[in-house]
Amino acid sequence: MTDDRIQRVTMPKWGLSMKTGTITGWVAAEGDEISQGDDLVEIDTDKIAGALESTWEGVLRKIVAEAGSSVPVGATIAVVAPADVSDEDVEAVVAQAREQLAAGVVEEEDAGAEVGTVEVDGRSISYATMGEGEDTIVLVHGYGGDKNSWLFVQEPLSHMHTVHALDLPGHGASSKDVGDGSLETMARAVLGFLDARGIGRAHLVGHSLGAAVVAAAAAEAPARVRSLTLVAPVGFGSDVDAEYLRGFAAATSRRQLKPLVGRLFADESLVTRQLVDDLLRYKRIDGVGAALQRLVDTLLDGDRQRIDTAARLGGVDVPTIVVWGREDRILPPTDINAAANVRVVDRAGHMVHMERPADVRHAVEAAVAAG
Amino acid sequence: MARTISYREAINEALAQEMERDASVIVMGEDNAGGASVGSPGEEDAWGGVLGVTKGLYGRFPGRVLDTPISESAFIGAAIGAATRGLRPVVELMFIDFMGVCFDQIFNQAAKFRYMFGGNALTPVVIRTMYGAGLRAAAQHSQALYPVFTHIPGLKVVTPSSPYDAKGLLIAAIRDDDPVIFCEHKALYDITGDVPEESYAIPFGEANVVREGSDVTIVAIGRMVSVALQAAEDVAGSGIEAEVIDPRTTSPLDEDTILESVEHTGRLVVVDEATPRCNLATDISALVAQKAFGALRAPIEMVSAPHTPVPFSDALEDLYVPNPQRIVNAVKAVTEWKR
Amino acid sequence: MTETVAPEVAPGLDAKVLLEAYRIMRTIRGFEDRVHDEFATGEIPGFVHLYAGEEASAAGVIMHLDERDSIASTHRGHGHCIARGVDVKTMMAEIFGKRTGVCHGKGGSMHIADLSKGMLGANGIVGGGPPLICGTALAAKLKGAGGVGVAFFGDGASNQGTTLEALNLAAVWDLPAIFVAENNGYAETTSSSWSVAADNIADRAGGFGMPGVIVDGFDFFAVHEAAGEAISRARAGGGPTLIEVKLTRYYGHFEGDQQTYRGDEVARAKESLDCLKRFRAGVTDSGQLSDAQLDQVDSEVAALIEEAVVEAKAASKPTEADLLTDVYVSY
């Protein structure tokens, strides 16, 4: 007979492989009034550190898992409830949560992500789907990345929407063959994914090269695309850290890769050993080296950008929002046509969706609303 | 996609994927299939290797899995000779302890062809072999003799510690154009870990920093990596954060990663199951003492087996192999050392 | 069951082949005699082991081989190299330890090799070759183009475990391998009649499941015929053969060996058994070749050897930069 106004703050699933998270520090304190969007608690996964944003409203009544504890995904770490809910009722929920933690058993309420593959143009495309909602959002990562890079964005968005994150050809768990490595081939993979999943129209979100890809998809099939959110996009302006692109493709050791990957972030301490290790594991797979090389050729003309996304979007009438990290060292934020809705985010580098995920999430929500 | 498989399965998969990809890869050794293929009345592929590592290959790749009589000199030499003529043999020296009956072909022939013949030889042979104590197999079936191979110019030596490393390093070994001694610890065959389904190659001479820490560097070889990790967990309780490094290959050796780590921590413990005279611990210690002397804040500690053959009785063998407590003691020795 | 083969002249060989055979043997003899002289000056580093006297064996066997085939040799390997077509000048340079040598000065006399000619090298390890040839024969068998492997070894190596293992393995695997035991009567100072328990090395063949043949190593035609049969059988998938070639080395085990353990067999052999003399007598008697033709070869060979020595002496030695190269393909 629990008061149903009592809300459990749970350890989020940031990334498909995440099984536990470590609480490094509580931002909110017991007794604080909590609103949607407030930073609640700092959490470390073995891949990255981030702040859990509140999707709950009320008073933070009780912290169940203290700083320093490692907790399974889905476990209750705090209880939020309106001030007038009795302490007794809150304690009952807390006691239950503590038992659960002690037993190490957690029932993940939603099964987490649905992971699968579809066949598109003779290639296997891997995807992860979370949530269910009226609107369908498709997240497309950038050069050298994979669907896990959306870890801080996919989960919160999935509370209200159906959110798919896919691996482009040559990346993640998809086939490593990229064919001619052209933007068209990548765009067709995205459109093919929509077909295979029976998605009529979707809000497309792309990061870096992924942004150019979704823009190209929108240019090719505007009827399929309800909105575009372009995160640190390729193809606006010609400046690019060409050395990074080439270096990333060529690197074979931790020593070579770590400094390069550091350039992706405003806060280089986010580059953990695990992050670099995971990238090396990906890069070692047969075919990845060749795929990345092809993509470098697609991206670069000498040391400048080859792709012109602005031009591609010229005739396309789809609501578009651009989000950029002010400290992006790979693709420095440029002046974009004032008609485009551009949000520049402070204290974020190229991986703005990992460093300032809330800002990216708000941009996506805005695009969804407009589309 | 990665999934959980065993060290044994990872090696089998590496062999199968490379044999699929490259018709010049063949497998040879005693009982690599066994049974009907060698005149016995029962099943074909009866064993698939003494501990089942090559099971299934015989049927999948007809004519490319060759069993041999017990003639190491002849068949190890044959693998080497075949390698000079365009094949890429993966030959099994069942126990590293048997190197005595075929060592000439390995260290005087294969290792030296390229140099002696002025660069005009290619010997892309892989010699897979089992090493290590812990299975009560006693003195002649339990040694860790990779230091002897490491000593020989012209050979490359690999000591994988995990299923992921085993698959990636074996694929790299098969693709490598030099002779490679691939050392599999027999007590690791059943351990499991995440291994991608796809083929991938881990470059040689690239150490794995398995655990980061700033108080002490622990370099560990092969099976000792997991023992060192256990010790690292133990000392973390006392506030000591250990960095654990797995060289993956003893030849070539990733000196830079080890030196970089010691420059940072100032303290080194080397864990090597091989017996103490002229083993990898002495090799790595000397390297660090020479090249990072200024960074050292304490003498280097080495944890290895004693200078004895491997004993049979479990009571003795358990004392023989380095265990977490001995590593913890070594860590304490270097962290508490005062002039 | 060992048979003995001993024809005097093979009528089936045409003039071209006969001239080639003579050229090979004469080149080997000339080369070895010259190395003997040069070694005495002190300019050649290390050890050399000379093949003079044994030419009919190398020529008789190796003339049957082509680019599908491979050979492994012994420490006494100059003859096999020359018969296989390794360049004489780069061989001489190698023996002198020069950078222009076939192994760039890194191998020397005992490791002289040319893998591009299917010559797996002279070998400093007695018995080192036979296992390797099991491998090259295996590769040839799997390739299916009829190639063979020939392992030359001496009476000393015939007792080495590696040789015996290789014989068994070749028979078990039915390999296109020919094992040629060049029995020159001595393993260093130890006579083969003492060290080989059986009457003949070839007598062991049956024990290893293959045919065995004994041939007179002074008789080119006998060697050529026996080898031809064994090689054809191997090419056709008939498996391995052991051929024992009985001959005499004219020089010591190595240059510098005072040979106090020998009797007068060298003098007698040079007098009445010498393979070059017999060959010349045979082909000129039968009218297949003329003395003039053979003399022409003699002078061409002499000129070649002279050039080889002059060039070798003039060439430079490897430098410090060469010390560390070619240990690995990549490291």
Phi-psi domain of B242 (left: phi exceeds 0; alpha: psi -120 through 50; beta: other): beta
* Mutation target vs A (from B167, B171, B198; most A CBs, 10 A cutoff): B198
Contact A259/B at CB under 8 A: no
Give the lowest-confidence range in A66-80, A129-143, B63-77, B284-298.
Answer: A66-80
Whether B51 and B75 map to the same domain: the answer is yes
pLDDT in tens, A178-195: 999 999 999 999 999 999
- CATH fold, domain C2-264+272-315, is Rossmann fold (3.40.50)
* List of chain A residues whose C-beta atoms are within 8 Å of the C-beta of residue B168: 284
Residues counted in chain C: 331
Maximum Cα interatomic distance, chain A, rounded to a whole number of Å: 68
For residue B202, being part of any structural domain is answered with no
Tokens describing residue A94: 């807390």
* Mutation target vs B (from C138, C153, C175, C323; most B CBs, 10 A cutoff): C138
For residue B201, being part of any structural domain is answered with no
For residue B203, being part of any structural domain is answered with no
The pLDDT of residue A55 is above 90: no
Whether A162 and A270 map to the same domain: the answer is yes
* pLDDT of res. B50: 87
The pLDDT of residue A338 is above 50: yes
* pLDDT of res. C305: 98
Last residue of a domain, one of A95, A130, A152: A95
C103 and B74 within 8 Å at the Cβ level: the answer is no
Confidence of residue A319 (pLDDT cuts 50, 70, 90): very high
pLDDT in tens, B18-57: 999 999 999 999 999 988 888 888 888 988 998 899 999 9
Q: Are C95 and C44 spatial neighbours (Cβ–Cβ below 8 Å)?
A: yes
Give the lowest-confidence range in B245-259, B282-296, C11-25.
Answer: C11-25
Tokens describing residue B215: 């108080």
Q: In whole angstroms, give the CA distance from residue B80 to residue B76.
A: 6
C115 and B156 within 8 Å at the Cβ level: the answer is no
Confidence of residue A14 (pLDDT cuts 50, 70, 90): confident
Cross-strand bridge partners of residue A117? A126
A285 and B196 within 8 Å at the Cβ level: the answer is yes
Whole-angstrom CA distances from C208 to B296, C135, C167, C234 are: 61, 18, 6, 16
Last residue of a domain, one of B196, B222, B248: B196
Whether B189 and B303 map to the same domain: the answer is no
Q: Are A94 and A145 spatial neighbours (Cβ–Cβ below 8 Å)?
A: no
* List of chain C residues whose C-beta atoms are within 8 Å of the C-beta of residue B114: 326-329
Whether A222 and A344 map to the same domain: the answer is yes
Q: In whole angstroms, give the CA distance from residue B202 to residue A252.
A: 9
Whether B223 and B189 map to the same domain: the answer is no
pLDDT in tens, C199-222: 999 999 999 999 999 999 999 999
Higher pLDDT, A104 or C8: A104
B307 classed as catalytic: no
* pLDDT of res. A13: 82
What's the CA angle centered on C119, arms C114 and C123, to 5 degrees?
95
* pLDDT of res. B131: 98
Give the residue-averaged pLDDT of A264-270. 92
B258 Cβ contact partners less than 8 Å away, ≥ 6 residues apart: B207, B217, B219, B245, B247, B284, B287, B288
Q: Which chains would you list as touching A if contact means 3+ CB atom pairs under 8 Å?
A: B
Task: Look at the alpha carbons of C322, C324, C329, C331 in this order and tell me if their dihedral is positive or negative.
Answer: negative
Last residue of a domain, one of B138, B170, B196: B196
pLDDT in tens, A36-47: 878 899 998 877
Q: Which chains would you list as touching B if contact means 3+ CB atom pairs under 8 Å?
A: A, C
* Mutation target vs B (from C319, C328, C330, C331; most B CBs, 10 A cutoff): C328
Q: Enter the DSSP assignment of B276.
A: S
Q: Which residue of B has its CA nearest to C175?
A: B78
Whether A76 and A159 map to the same domain: the answer is no
The pLDDT of residue A16 is above 80: no
For residue A71, being part of any structural domain is answered with yes
Contact A255/B at CB under 8 A: yes
* pLDDT of res. C1: 45
Contact C102/B at CB under 8 A: yes
B206 and A126 within 8 Å at the Cβ level: the answer is no
* pLDDT of res. A1: 54
Last residue of a domain, one of B138, B172, B196: B196
- Do chains A and C touch by CB distance (3+ pairs < 8 Å)? no
B108 and C128 within 8 Å at the Cβ level: the answer is yes
Give the residue-averaged pLDDT of A146-151. 93
**What range defines the domain where residue B142 resides?**
2-196
Q: In whole angstroms, give the CA distance from residue C34 to residue C23.
A: 16
Q: Are A76 and A297 spatial neighbours (Cβ–Cβ below 8 Å)?
A: no
pLDDT in tens, B173-202: 999 999 999 999 999 999 999 999 999 999
Q: Residue A49's closest CA among A59, A39, A38?
A: A39
For residue B253, being part of any structural domain is answered with yes
Provide ipTM, 2 decimals.
Answer: 0.92
Q: Which residue of C has its CA nearest to B88?
A: C139
Q: In whole angstroms, give the CA distance from residue C201 to residue C185.
A: 11
* List of chain B residues whose C-beta atoms are within 8 Å of the C-beta of residue A252: 203, 206
Whether B180 and B300 map to the same domain: the answer is no
For residue A103, being part of any structural domain is answered with no
Catalytic residue among B141, B151, B185, B264: B141
Tell me the backbone φ, ψ of residue A157, rounded to 5 degrees. Answer: -65, -30
The pLDDT of residue A235 is above 50: yes
Number of domains, chain A = 2
Whether A83 and A206 map to the same domain: the answer is no
* List of chain B residues whose C-beta atoms are within 8 Å of the C-beta of residue A286: 198-201
* List of chain B residues whose C-beta atoms are within 8 Å of the C-beta of residue C122: none
Contact C290/B at CB under 8 A: no
The pLDDT of residue A96 is above 50: yes
Q: Residue A261's closest CA among A354, A171, A182?
A: A354
Whether A127 and A77 map to the same domain: the answer is no
Whether A91 and A176 map to the same domain: the answer is no
Residues of B with CB under 8 A from a CB of A: 1, 164, 168, 196, 198-203, 206, 209, 212, 256-257
Whether A171 and A302 map to the same domain: the answer is yes
C328 and B80 within 8 Å at the Cβ level: the answer is no
Q: What is the CATH number of the domain that holds B190?
A: 3.40.50.970
Q: What is the CATH number of the domain that holds A166?
A: 3.40.50.1820
How many Å lie between the alpha carbon of B54 and the closest alpha carbon of chain A?
Answer: 23
Contact A256/B at CB under 8 A: no
Whether A71 and A127 map to the same domain: the answer is no
**What range defines the domain where residue A214 resides?**
116-370
Residue that is written with structure tokens 């070894």 in the block = C153
In our burial notation (b when 16+ CB lie closer than 10 A, e otherwise), range C69-85 reads bbbbbbbbbbbbbbbbe
Contact A284/B at CB under 8 A: yes
The pLDDT of residue A111 is above 60: no
The pLDDT of residue B263 is above 70: yes
Q: What is the pTM of this model?
A: 0.91
Residues 59-98 of C with CB under 8 A from B: 70, 72
C106 and B252 within 8 Å at the Cβ level: the answer is no
* Mutation target vs C (from B66, B114, B117; most C CBs, 10 A cutoff): B117
Q: Mark out the alpha helices in C153-219 (DSSP H runs).
A: 161-172, 192-195
Whether A168 and A81 map to the same domain: the answer is no
Q: In whole angstroms, give the CA distance from residue A94 to residue A55.
A: 19
Number of domains, chain B = 2
* pLDDT of res. C4: 62
Q: Map residue C123 onto helix, strand or coil.
A: coil
* pLDDT of res. C212: 98
The pLDDT of residue C303 is above 50: yes
Whether B192 and B262 map to the same domain: the answer is no
Whether B89 and B214 map to the same domain: the answer is no
Q: What is the CATH number of the domain that holds B248?
A: 3.40.50.920
Contact A286/B at CB under 8 A: yes
Give the lowest-confidence range in A10-14, A325-329, B335-339.
Answer: A10-14
- Do chains B and A touch by CB distance (3+ pairs < 8 Å)? yes
* List of chain A residues whose C-beta atoms are within 8 Å of the C-beta of residue B214: none
Whether B212 and B322 map to the same domain: the answer is yes
For every residue of B248-290, DSSP letters joined together read: SEEES--HHHHHHHHHHH--EEEEE-S-STTSHHHHHHHHHHH
For residue A178, being part of any structural domain is answered with yes
Tokens describing residue C36: 């003997």
Whether B153 and B56 map to the same domain: the answer is yes
Q: What is the CATH number of the domain that holds A65?
A: 2.40.50.100
Q: Map residue C145 onto helix, strand or coil.
A: coil
Whether A89 and A144 map to the same domain: the answer is no
Phi-psi domain of B35 (left: phi exceeds 0; alpha: psi -120 through 50; beta: other): left
* pLDDT of res. A39: 87
* List of chain A residues whose C-beta atoms are within 8 Å of the C-beta of residue B256: 255
Whether A217 and A262 map to the same domain: the answer is yes
Average pLDDT score over chain A: 92
